Structure 1
Amino acid sequence: MQIAIQDLYPESHSHCFGCGRSNQDGWHLKSYLAGDKTLAHFTPKPQYTGGVPGHLYGGAVASLLDCHGTASAAAFRYLQNHSDLTDSSKIQRHITAQLNVKYIAPTPMDVELTIAGELISIEGRKVKVLLTLSAGDKLCAEAEMLAVGVD
């Protein structure tokens, strides 16, 4: 069974609302390697609706992209020096330095969303990731992230 990237974070860094396994009230987003990309799936609950009825709040869209992006950055950087991720991998937590989100279409509430990440570049502790959030075949948002590894 493939392990989620977030499950490889040290316990001291597993409290994030969006993806932290130790946050009992959080979303527990799980991101996985899929070839040279990363993927996560999330079905929003009704309380996260936005200004347009039946659609996801824009801040939640950014949050999903943010959590998946930092996980993607951590995995891509780890894989720069290792062949794969295992349940004993010790990956370095990354934080967002910049997230530029482009909202393309309203994000529906009643479907499973797919968040994908692709590596753009790695320069030392800095990792750039291209992110998309889709509902089925409909692209709802895309973003470019700059994430930085934390000591």
Structure 2
Amino acid sequence: MRAFILTLAIASLLPLTASAADNTSARRYGTSEALSVQNARLGEVLMVRSVDIKSDKRLNAGSAIGAAVGYGAAREVKGDYRSAASIAAGTIGGVAGTAIQNGLSSRRGVEVYVRDLESGKVFAFLQADDLLIRPGDKVFLTGKGSKTRVVPVEGQR
């Protein structure tokens, strides 16, 4: 019974680990970004393309949680096959946990091509599809380095 309760508790953490990793939203900022000066440049959207954003991590919390769940379930096996069952269930649980987390962490995104109106250079940005951005829109490019977001100028169209 204890193993079953522990298994449920560990499995309930899986959705939290998947959503905690989402840092691709133009609407979500980390605490280190709060109250800091951000660069802002004006640009024009040339093209927007839908993409899928998937986790590129081979090992993640889903692996560990799945392995623990599998191992805990196999502890109920009695007899000579207990060790083999624990190893097999832990391995299968780890693979299943990775697949589940990767499925949960997959989300819709957009690749946005923007011409910087000051320099004329064209940049491509990848972010979550949580803002309405269309070709021809004026946008702000806000942030620093790899944490630059495309944010539409309000009051357009």
Q: Which has the higher helix share?
A: 2
Greater relative contact order structure (CA < 8 Å, 6+ sep): 2
TM-score range normalised by the length of the shorter chain: under 0.3
TM-score when normalising by structure 1:
0.27
- Bigger Rg, structure 1 or 2: 2
TM-score when normalising by structure 2:
0.26
Q: Which has the higher strand share?
A: 1
